[in-house]
Amino acid sequence: MKTLNLNILTTVNILFYSRIIISLICGAMLMYFFSGGDFKANNTFDGIIMMGLILIAAICGLYGITIMKKILVPLSKYPLVLNLLCNINGLGKPDYYGSLKFDLNNIIKDNKLHLTLYYINNNQYPILQFDNNKIIYYTQEYDWTTFKWSYKIVPQGRNEKQVLEFEGINQNNIKIKDNIDFEKINARENEVLLLFVIHDLLFGKRSSFYY
């Protein structure tokens, strides 16, 4: 089967925005069907119907993305990595198929990833570095064999922020618990997550399989 030339981050972005578009199209069609193009929530019953239609549209988006995943992921050069990144982002039904055998240098090159990521307000200050079986956050160095992590989206006022909680043993044999705040890192959307998935699969505890 011929593989696609799209890199992993591009494919995830396509799926993410496709889910939104599918949901909006389904929602608009349902609203038009039930209202003849002039839907107004004039009472509680109309409001309940509107909420129900929104829920159905969201479900349509979920199923639509699941179908798209079944088409796109098998065409990827790295289907397992793409599957896991989609799972973490809640894109479609979770899948875990694909080979664990891939070359680190090739996947980094194919996806144009940066192994050293810098502070968003200072491009001269490295904040996160990936060095084969080592990960360096600020000045602390950890080995992937003792590194545990979990990704979360947490509320921040009216907005949300991406946070990666981790626990590891540093170069001084001290156990440390800390958070990595994605907002502080100058990186493309999902680039940090993708780097974690790749290195964790090759050197770590494969935490991404829990999503």
In 3D space, the residue among 114, 140, 134 whose CA is nearest the CA of residue 194 turns out to be 114
Mean pLDDT of the chain: 85
What are the structure tokens assigned to 73, written together? 């992921």
Residues 26 and 84 in one domain: yes
pTM of the model: 0.83
Rounded-to-integer distance, Cα 203 and Cα 132, Å = 8
Domain edge (last residue) among 47, 62, 88? 88
For every residue of 7-32, DSSP letters joined together read -HHHHHHHHHHHHHHHHHHHHHHHHH
Provide the number of structural domains found in the chain.
2
| Helix, strand or coil, per DSSP, at residue 113 | coil
CA dist 111 and 97 (Å) reads 20
Rounded mean pLDDT of 13-18?
Answer: 87
Q: Which of 134, 142, 136, 132 is closest to 176 using CA atoms?
A: 142
Give yes or no: residues 118 and 193 share one domain: yes
* Residue 161 confidence class, pLDDT cut points 50, 70, 90: confident
* Cβ count near 31 (within 10 Å): 18
Whether residue 203 is found in the same domain as residue 109? yes
Cβ–Cβ under 8 Å, residues 206 and 200: yes
Is 80 exceeded by the pLDDT of residue 142?
A: yes
Does 3 map to a domain?
Answer: no
What pLDDT shows up at residue 36?
58
Q: Are residues 29 and 121 in the same domain?
A: no
pLDDT tens-place string over residues 30-83: 666 766 555 555 556 556 666 766 676 677 667 777 888 888 888 899 999 999
Among 88, 117, 152, the domain-final residue is 88
Domain that holds residue 67: 8-88
